[in-house]
Amino acid sequence: RGAWCPYCNLEVQLLQQALPDIQALGATLVAISPQTPDNSLSLAEKHGLAFPVLSDAGNAVARRFGLVFTVPEALRAVYDKLGIDIPAHNGDGSFELPVPGTYVVGRDGTIAFAYANVDYTRRVAVGDILAALRTAS
């Protein structure tokens, strides 16, 4: 999703708070968003993030994980009223967004933990991420 999403903003702030614990477990934290690199940088600067926020141009990575959907017309109207221009934020002219997902990937490239929920207001608890990291390490 992106910097325009209040739930994404809250999540990156919580992840930033947990970053020392994540790093203590030998893990690296990376956030990925379909928004443009400038918007990703703005998000990182706004919250003083000490982990990278990468841009997933055209939702290529999210698409490989099966997370991409097209924003329905009714929801587009709501976003328009709120002044949220998804195509401009993403820089690709589309109304595609990813379902928020969290993955713990082991050193061997195996997915050790996965969480995705079509209800974008529901995010995985940081404690669950830390538990998955402990199990994976």
The predicted-structure confidence for 44-82, as pLDDT tens digits, reads as follows: 999 999 999 999 999 999 999 999 999 999 999 999 999
Q: What band does 127 get if pLDDT is binned at 50, 70 and 90?
A: very high
- pTM of structure: 0.91
48 beta partners: none
At residue 71, φ and ψ (nearest 5 deg) are -65, 125
Instruction: Name the residue range of residue 100's domain.
Output: 6-130
Residue 30 lies in a domain: yes
pLDDT for the residue numbered 40: 92
Residue 123 lies in a domain: yes
Residue 23 lies in a domain: yes
- Looking at residue 71, the DSSP 8-state letter turns out to be P
Question: What average pLDDT does the segment 4-8 reach?
Answer: 93
Residue 19 lies in a domain: yes
Cα 73 from chain centre: 23
Location of structure tokens 């999403």: 5
